[in-house]
C-alpha cells in the first residue's frame, strides 16, 4: 500500500493529464536512461515488444521519473509483492469463487455501492465483448442496425455538420483565419456510424474451451500485438476504438474522427419511428456533442489532420477560454451532496461539448424541417419534443458511492446536471415559457455560448 501510494503521488491530477499541451513531451529512447534512472530501460522495452522504437511521448514525465526512482530505491521484495498483487487483482474475476467474491466486495460494494454481483452469464458476455469485441459487434450490427438506420443517421450527421459550420460563420468574435481552420477541421472530420468499414481478424487468437483465464491472457496479448503492429505504419483514420455493441460514442482528436456504435443508435437515442424533433433532441445532441469535442478546450488544440498545432489567434483563444470559465463556474455551483460539488474545470470539455452539441442539433433540426411546421404530438410542440427528448436521454440512477466516485474522478458531470445544459439555450426558455425567478432560469447574459 505504501509503495502504491508513493507511485500515485508521482502522477498528475486528472485536470492536468487531460491537457494535451502538457502531455506532449517527445522523448527519445536515450532520454529514458538519462532522465529517468532506476530502470533497465533496454530490458523493459525489449520485453514490451518496443525494442526497435526510438520515439515516445512521455505524457506524465513525473510519473516516469518518479516510478523509475522508486524501482531503484524500494526493496525488490516489495516490488515482487506489488506485481504479484496486481497480477492476481487484474485476473481475479476469472479465478476461483473466493477471489471473485473478494474482488466484488471491494470494487463492487465498497467503491461503487453495488449490492449484488452480476449474474455469471452477464460477466461472461462482458468478457467475450472484451476479448472478441468486433466479432460480436459484427453479429450485433447485422441484427440490430439495418442499412436504412445507418443512412438516416448519416443524413442527420450531415445536417449537424452543416449547422455547426453555419454557427462558426456566425461567431462575431472569431477572426476569419481561425474560422477557416475550424471549418477545415470540420470538413475533414471522419464520422463512423454504426460499425467500422473493416473488421478485426481474430484468426490468430487461440480460444480454448474451459480456460477462461488463459483465454483472457491470450486476448490481452493479442490486443497488445495489434497495437504494436501499428507502429511505423501510416495512421488509419478509419480505425475504430469502440465496439458496435457498446452504448457510447467518442471523438478521437488525433484521428480527427468520431465513432457512433450501433448500440448507441437504438431507442431512446435513435428511433426510426420517432419524430425528427425527438431524434435530434436525443441522438442529434449526442452527435453534436461528439463533433463539438473537436472544438472543446482540449480538442481545439488539434488541427484538421489530428496534429497538436495551435491554429488560434491569441484574442480568439482568450475569448474562447473566457466563455469556458463561465461554464466551469456554472457547473461548480451544482452540489449533489453538502460536502461535494461538481468540478467545473475537470468536466469543462464535456460541458462545452454538451452546450455546443445541443445548440448545433437544435439548428440542424430546424433546417431539417425545410420551412414546414413541426408536427405536434400528444399536445407537445416540436420545441417541447426536442428538449424533452434531450432530458430523457439523461435519465439515470446512481448510488451514492458511485456518484461520489464520479464527482472526484470522471471528466463527465453527473447526468442530472448534463440535462440542465438547456439553461444556456434561448430556445428552451421559449419552449416552456421559463420565467425569471424560476429555479433553472438564467439571465440572458449568464447563458453560456461557446460555439
Q: Which residues bind Zn ion (CB under 5 A)?
A: 350, 353
Q: How far is the CB of 120 from Zn ion (least distance, A)?
A: 32
Distance (Å, rounded) from C-alpha 83 to C-alpha 182? 46
DSSP element (H, E) containing 270:
none
Query: What does the block give as the cell for 10?
Result: 508521482
Q: 3-class DSSP state for residue 225? A: helix
Percent helix, strand and coil across the chain, each to the nearest 5: 60, 5, 35
Closer residue to Zn ion in complex, CB, 252/374: 252
Closer residue to Zn ion in complex, CB, 291/353: 353
Closer residue to Zn ion in complex, CB, 252/353: 353
Query: What does the block give as the cell for 73?
Result: 530505491
Q: Which of the following is catalytic: 290, 350, 363, 383?
A: 290
The DSSP string of 366-432 is: HHHTTTSPPPPBTTB-HHHHHHHHHHHHT-----HHHHHHHHHH-SSPPHHHHGGGGGG-HHHHHHH
Q: How far is the CB of 338 from Zn ion (least distance, A)?
A: 28
Q: How far is the CB of 289 from Zn ion (least distance, A)?
A: 6
Closer residue to Zn ion in complex, CB, 36/285: 285
Q: Is 290 tagged catalytic?
A: yes
CA of residue 135 relative to chain centroid, distance: 23
Give the number of C-alpha atoms closer than 13 A to the C-alpha of residue 224, restricted to the C-beta side: 10
Q: Which of the following is catalytic: 264, 354, 363, 383?
A: 354
Q: How far is the CB of 321 from Zn ion (least distance, A)?
A: 19
Report yes or no: 367 and 361 within 8 Å, Cβ to Cβ. Answer: no
Closer residue to Zn ion in complex, CB, 350/363: 350
Closer residue to Zn ion in complex, CB, 182/353: 353
CA–CA distances in Å: residue 446 to residues 84, 293, 425, 426, 440: 53, 22, 11, 11, 12
Distance (Å, rounded) from C-alpha 96 to C-alpha 63? 34
Query: What does the block give as the cell for 295?
Result: 472544438
Q: How far is the CB of 411 from Zn ion (least distance, A)?
A: 8
Distance (Å, rounded) from C-alpha 296 to C-alpha 353? 6
Distance (Å, rounded) from C-alpha 74 to C-alpha 332? 40
Report the Cα–Cα distance between both ends of the chain, in Å, rounded: 46
Q: How far is the CB of 428 from Zn ion (least distance, A)?
A: 20
Closer residue to Zn ion in complex, CB, 14/135: 14
Distance (Å, rounded) from C-alpha 174 to C-alpha 131? 46
Report yes or no: 312 and 320 within 8 Å, Cβ to Cβ. Answer: yes
Closer residue to Zn ion in complex, CB, 200/256: 256
Determine the angle formed by the axes of helices 147-170 and 176-188, rounding to 10 degrees.
Answer: 170
Q: How far is the CB of 253 from Zn ion (least distance, A)?
A: 12
Q: How far is the CB of 193 from Zn ion (least distance, A)?
A: 17
Bridge partners for 191 per DSSP? 258
Distance (Å, rounded) from C-alpha 166 to C-alpha 283? 20
Query: What does the block give as the cell for 131?
Result: 476479448
Bridge partners for 27 per DSSP? 56
Report yes or no: 255 and 234 within 8 Å, Cβ to Cβ. Answer: no
Q: Is 296 tagged catalytic?
A: no
CA of residue 363 relative to chain centroid, distance: 24
Q: Which residues are catalytic?
A: 290, 354
Amino acid at each position: 500500500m505504501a509503495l502504491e501510494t508513493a507511485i500515485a503521488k508521482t502522477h498528475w491530477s486528472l485536470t492536468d493529464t487531460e491537457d494535451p499541451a502538457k502531455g506532449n513531451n517527445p522523448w527519445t529512447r536515450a532520454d529514458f536512461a538519462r532522465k529517468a534512472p532506476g530502470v533497465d530501460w533496454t530490458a523493459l522495452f525489449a520485453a514490451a515488444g518496443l525494442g526497435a522504437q526510438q520515439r515516445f511521448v512521455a505524457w506524465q514525465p513525473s510519473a516516469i521519473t518518479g516510478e523509475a526512482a522508486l524501482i531503484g530505491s524500494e526493496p525488490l521484495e516489495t516490488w515482487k509483492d506489488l506485481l504479484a498483487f496486481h497480477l492476481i487483482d487484474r485476473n481475479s474475476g476469472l479465478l476461483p469463487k473466493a477471489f471473485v467474491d473478494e474482488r466484488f466486495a471491494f470494487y463492487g460494494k465498497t467503491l461503487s455501492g453495488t449490492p449484488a454481483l452480476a449474474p455469471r452469464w452477464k460477466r461472461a458476455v462482458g468478457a467475450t465483448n472484451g476479448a472478441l469485441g468486433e466479432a460480436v459487434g459484427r453479429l450485433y450490427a447485422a441484427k440490430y442496425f439495418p442499412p436504412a438506420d445507418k443512412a438516416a443517421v448519416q443524413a442527420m450527421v450531415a445536417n449537424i455538420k452543416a449547422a455547426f459550420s453555419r454557427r462558426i460563420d456566425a461567431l462575431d468574435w472569431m477572426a476569419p483565419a481561425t474560422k477557416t481552420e475550424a471549418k477545415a477541421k470540420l470538413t475533414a472530420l471522419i464520422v463512423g456510424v454504426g460499425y467500422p468499414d473493416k473488421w478485426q481478424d481474430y484468426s490468430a487468437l487461440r480460444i480454448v474451451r474451459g480456460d477462461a483465464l488463459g483465454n483472457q491472457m491470450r486476448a490481452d496479448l493479442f490486443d497488445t500485438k495489434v497495437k504494436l503492429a501499428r507502429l511505423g505504419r501510416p495512421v488509419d483514420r478509419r480505425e475504430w476504438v469502440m465496439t458496435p455493441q457498446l452504448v457510447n460514442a467518442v471523438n478521437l482528436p488525433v484521428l480527427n474522427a468520431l465513432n457512433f456504435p450501433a448500440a448507441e443508435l437504438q431507442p431512446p437515442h435513435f428511433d426510426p419511428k420517432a419524430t425528427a424533433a425527438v431524434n435530434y433532441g436525443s441522438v442529434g445532441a449526442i452527435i453534436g456533442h461528439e463533433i463539438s469535442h473537436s472544438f472543446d478546450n482540449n480538442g481545439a488544440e488539434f488541427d484538421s489532420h489530428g496534429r497538436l498545432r495551435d491554429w488560434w489567434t491569441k484574442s480568439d483563444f482568450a475569448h474562447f477560454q473566457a466563455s469556458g470559465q463561465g461554464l466551469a463556474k456554472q457547473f461548480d455551483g451544482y452540489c449533489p451532496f453538502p460536502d461535494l460539488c461538481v468540478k467545473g474545470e475537470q468536466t469543462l470539455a464535456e460541458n462545452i461539448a454538451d452546450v455546443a452539441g445541443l445548440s448545433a442539433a437544435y439548428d440542424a433540426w430546424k433546417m431539417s424541417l425545410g420551412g414546414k411546421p413541426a408536427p405536434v404530438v400528444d399536445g407537445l410542440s416540436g420545441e417541447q419534443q426536442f428538449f424533452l427528448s434531450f432530458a430523457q436521454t439523461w435519465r439515470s440512477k446512481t448510488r451514492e458511492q458511485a456518484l461520489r466516485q464520479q464527482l472526484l474522478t470522471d471528466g463527465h458531470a453527473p447526468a442530472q446536471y448534463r440535462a440542465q445544459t438547456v439553461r444556456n439555450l434561448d430556445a428552451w426558455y421559449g419552449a416552456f415559457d421559463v420565467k425569471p425567478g424560476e429555479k433553472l432560469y438564467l439571465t440572458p447574459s449568464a447563458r453560456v455560448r461557446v460555439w
